[in-house]
Amino acid sequence: MSTAAHGAGEPCGDGLRERETVRTGGRHGGESAASRATSASTKDEDAVEAPRNGSDFAHLFVFANEKAGMKKVDKEHVNQIVFEMSKGSEHFKEAQRRDERTQAEVRKLRAKLATTLESDLAPVRHRVDAKVTKLLRERDLSRIYCVVDMDCFFAAVEMRDDPSLAGKPMAVGGLSMISTTNYLAREYGVRSAMPGFIARKLCPELVFVKSNFDKYRQASQEVRDILKKYDPKLHAGSLDEAYMDITDFVDVKIATEQAGANLDADAQTARRFHVAERVVQAMRDEVSAHTRLTCSAGIARTRMLAKIASDRNKPNGQCVVPWQPEKMLRFTRELAIRKVPGIGKVAEKKLKDALGVATVRDLWDKRYLCAHLLSAVQADYLLRVTLCCTNPSVSSSQASSSSAASSSAAAVSALPSAFGQGEDNQRGRKSIGMERTFSQGASSVQELFDTCLDICARLSRRCVEKQLIGHCVTLKIKKSSFEVFTRQTIVTNAVPRCADGTDLFEHARELLAREMPCRLRLMGIKVSKLIDPSHAPVKIVSSGVLHAVKPWMMRRTLK
């Protein structure tokens, strides 16, 4: 299991089955695996309410999930502290409201499951089986990927630059929120996304360091410069991680070092992996030598598996996912679904409670039900995961994105962009925004508008620096209750056009005014539908085909 979040309802670990338990011509539900799996955690129907401990609520918090370096943590204890520090707060209440919505979703899924006939599943089976064949046929395992992820990045930079921190548990952030912690702190269960005041409760001697983003950006650049020698086209997933294709580097190394004996395909792959392991070790050594920062790495035949592997031997370690297809598959199937990028705390709970799915193997066993219950996009991604078919395919043209509507909220997020397209996934950013929390303070209308203008001004400055303008302005508001709202509008002339943010504020003010008065804890502004700034405001070609003109400029105006 990937997390201690689920104290009660354990899954039905009945291993590999090629068919879900469906009574022919009958209905799902009743004694089915899914039902059993959920009846414990969804206590609605229980006559006796067992007294709850903190672990019953762990699924409400991202930071209750285990991160690298937290293996030996006493989860029960941590969950208890977290619960006690949280319960009754507005934040906790909001978390509970969200959870209730998730439970409703689960009930809906189970209801659909209960009324699913064998005859409904038949065509699904056909489609899924065909897709499996197709995916396996098109699966591309020709490359070797490496994902490098820095160890407790922000914290590592701070510790490098301040030797007095050595040997102490420390966190980057403040009493409100922690960005990351060093591995000493993690032994206390203290990690990213955890509020500092809870962390301090768990570890009173925890040292807090304020974040210095510019330093991290610079360190990141230094690391990347080294990595680029191994793959000039690497894709930076974030400041602290890089997706690399090291095939070429490895092959060159082999070509220059070893005799070109005629090996069969498997032997060649084995040799490549062997070399890859040494290459990556050397690369990591080079990084730590030059930056005094350690990193970890994963090596595999798909980006996704490399990403997962990079977390396995943290800190300062690396992990190879076996290259043999069967072994690779075994590695994959044994993963808890929570390890799969895109499956977060909510999707994990939904899949477990509605379908009894805890591992990728379960996902494979229940692939037909997934295809039936989830949206096409979601089911497609999950199926690819079970088959290690997450590498970009080289199909000729664009697949028309058939979006099939099914349940009310996304169970699984997008196929993470890092896996989606090839190396040239760089089509620039899609939005830029700025938001600010002011906890209890500002609530007079005047203050709120002042805040809004301030955010607009600062954001505009950043936009101007980066040469970004866009046609969509979004106002984000978080109430004191932690409920989040957004209000957006399409603007005919892209903003911001001036660095003081007055034009941006014009629109933001409008959006804000409609909702006033109101008690807020956060306000944010975002600009999206970005366009190339070298853009002539109106350039309509009569055919209407050459789209220098975006649709939202075409808005018909009565009058």
Partner DNA sequence: CTACATAGG
Partner DNA sequence: TACTCCTATGTAG
Partner DNA sequence: ACCCATAGC
Partner DNA sequence: TACTGCTATGGGT
Q: Which stretch binds a copy of itself (CB under 8 A): 101-109, 226-234, 300-308, 312-320?
A: 101-109
Q: Residue 93, interface with a copy of itself (CB under 8 A)? A: no
Among Mg ion, a copy of itself, DNA, none, the one that 515 touches (CB under a kind-dependent 5 to 8 A) is a copy of itself
Task: Name the strands in the sheet holding 145-150, side by side, starting at the edge strand that comes first in the sequence.
Answer: 235-238, 241-245, 145-150, 295-300, 318-320
Q: Are 445 and 417 within 8 A, CB to CB?
A: no
Task: Name the strands in the sheet holding 484-495, side by side, starting at the edge strand that comes first in the sequence.
Answer: 431-437, 520-531, 469-479, 484-495
User: Closest approach of Cβ 543 to a copy of itself, in Å?
Assistant: 6
Residues numbered 313 to 332 that lie near ligand DTP (CB under 6 A) are 314-315
Contacting residue, 432, 442, 453, 531, with DNA by CB under 7 A: 432
Among Mg ion, ligand DTP, a copy of itself, none, the one that 552 touches (CB under a kind-dependent 5 to 8 A) is none
Strands 241-245 and 235-238, bridge-based pairing = antiparallel
Contacts of residue 258, Cβ cutoff 8 Å, sequence gap at least 6 = 271
Q: Residue 193, interface with ligand DTP (CB under 6 A)? A: yes
Q: Which of 456, 309, 379 is nearest to 127 (CA)?
A: 379
Residues numbered 207 to 246 that lie near ligand DTP (CB under 6 A) are 240-241
Q: What amino acid positions are annotated as catalytic residues?
A: 241
Q: Are 172 and 180 within 8 A, CB to CB?
A: yes
Per-residue contact string for residues 32-71; x = within reach of ligand DTP by CB under 6 A: -----------------------------------xx---
Q: Which stretch binds a copy of itself (CB under 8 A): 86-94, 257-265, 269-277, 479-487?
A: 479-487
**Distance between CA atoms of 14 and 382, rounded to whole angstroms?**
20
Q: Residue 422, interface with DNA (CB under 7 A)? A: no
SS3 525: strand
**Distance between CA atoms of 229 and 227, rounded to whole angstroms?**
5
Q: Residue 237, interface with DNA (CB under 7 A)? A: yes
Q: Which of 136, 144, 138 is nearest to 396 (CA)?
A: 138
Per-residue contact string for residues 508-527; x = within reach of a copy of itself by CB under 8 A: -------x-xx---------
Q: Residue 544, interface with a copy of itself (CB under 8 A)? A: yes
User: Closest approach of Cβ 241 to ligand DTP, in Å?
Assistant: 6
Size of the site for Mg ion (CB under 5 A): 5
Among ligand DTP, DNA, Mg ion, none, the one that 341 touches (CB under a kind-dependent 5 to 8 A) is DNA
User: Closest approach of Cβ 41 to a copy of itself, in Å?
Assistant: 16
Q: Residue 153, interface with ligand DTP (CB under 6 A)? A: yes
Residues numbered 209 to 238 that lie near a copy of itself (CB under 8 A) are none
Q: Are 374 and 385 within 8 A, CB to CB?
A: no
Q: b/e map of 105-133 (b: 16 or more CB within 10 Å)?
A: bbeebbebbeebeeeebeebbeebeebbe
